[in-house]
Amino acid sequence: MSGYGKLQIGSVTLDNNIILGPMAGVSDLPFRLLCREMGAGLVCMEMVSAKAITYKNKNTGMLMDIHEDEHPVSLQLFGSEPDVMQQAVEMIKDRPYDILDVNMGCPVPKVVGNGEGSALMKNPELIQRIVAALVQVSDRPVTVKIRKGFNDKSINAVECALAAQEGGAAAVAVHGRTREQYYSGQADWSIIRQVKEAVKIPVIGNGDVVDGESAKRMFDETGCDGVMVARAAQGNPFIFREIKSFFETGTTCPRPTNKEVYDTVIRHADLQLKYKGDYIGIREMRKHVSWYTTGMAGSAKFRNQINQMEDMDSLKKACAEIML
């Protein structure tokens, strides 16, 4: 029986099955912490390069920082060479992540051009070898995230999910779009159902979940074991609270007031500055503030001001003008 509730992924039990998806440049530590506090059952980190880990890249090390209050958390690797990925996992074994995920869905040309991300879907046999190699050295569950297929001529999510399962994966997340689609058009949920019917491991559905009603529809239409929310959470960590409320009470809790949005933005910015320093922290907050204010009165004009924000005082002042 699919639907909202706890979810077991290998040895890890999630207190609910609504999951923050991994997003490069978005699902960093401050944002994950906010989403977890709002009720996400699992938060996924930005993808990190296995090769960069083996080179001891400093920025990659920072991407893997984890806050004690965000557990359970999934660390996502990308790469295409089983031995390099194995080596990376050995090198990060002391990091306190709960689940190891492999990115097989990223559509970005630079990643795909290296044979990584969604390019792996062209080679299900390699998918199986990568997963098996990681399961061999990982003391935590290994999961994979795939797409519907590489393009409309190659819709092979079922074959790739079976390969991952054969390699020992503990779960598979399926985004209902092809690599060719990126994030455009409508996600095809029927492919999620097909994967669910083919494999024995938990299947997490991803694509076009924007509220409690669409989450319920995804459970109902696909039979999936968990639902992943990604772009709909940008500037909107409140979505996890709202989806939880929808399932637990039958009604969606009220949208946050402008004052609560303001307080959340300031908390988000405080965390950014704490973990990334003033210069990077404020600059990375600009896109988040733009998302938080989407749809507010005067938000189009406000977007021009956002790029002028140089410090916490200017951020507070600008946000107070539009939100309070």
Residue type at 56? Answer: K
**pLDDT (mean) for 185-213:** 97
Active-site residue, selected from the candidate residues 35, 44, 106, 319: 106
CATH topology of domain 258-323: 1.10.1200
User: How confident is the model at residue 1, as a pLDDT?
Assistant: 45
Residue 184: pLDDT band by 50, 70, 90 thresholds? confident
With a cut of 50, say whether residue 237 has pLDDT above it.
yes
Give catalytic status of residue 160 as yes or no. no
Domain boundaries, the chain: 7-249, 258-323
Please check whether the two domains, 7-249 and 258-323, share a CATH topology.
Answer: no
Q: What percent of the chain has pLDDT over 70?
A: 99
For residue 224, count CB atoms less than 10 angstroms from its CB and return exposed for 0-12, middle for 13-18, buried for 19 or more.
Answer: buried
Q: Which CATH number fits domain 7-249: 3.30.70.20, 3.40.50.920, 3.20.20.70, 3.30.420.40?
A: 3.20.20.70
What pLDDT, in 10s, does the model give residues 50-95? 999 999 988 899 899 999 999 999 999 999 999 999 999 999 999 9
CA distances from 232 to 125, 155, 223 (A): 33, 25, 21
What pLDDT, in 10s, does the model give residues 146-181? 999 999 899 999 999 999 999 999 999 999 999 888
User: How confident is the model at residue 206, as a pLDDT?
Assistant: 97
Q: Which stretches of the chain are DSSP H helices?
A: 29-37, 50-54, 58-63, 82-91, 109-113, 124-137, 157-167, 190-198, 212-222, 238-249, 258-292, 299-306, 312-323
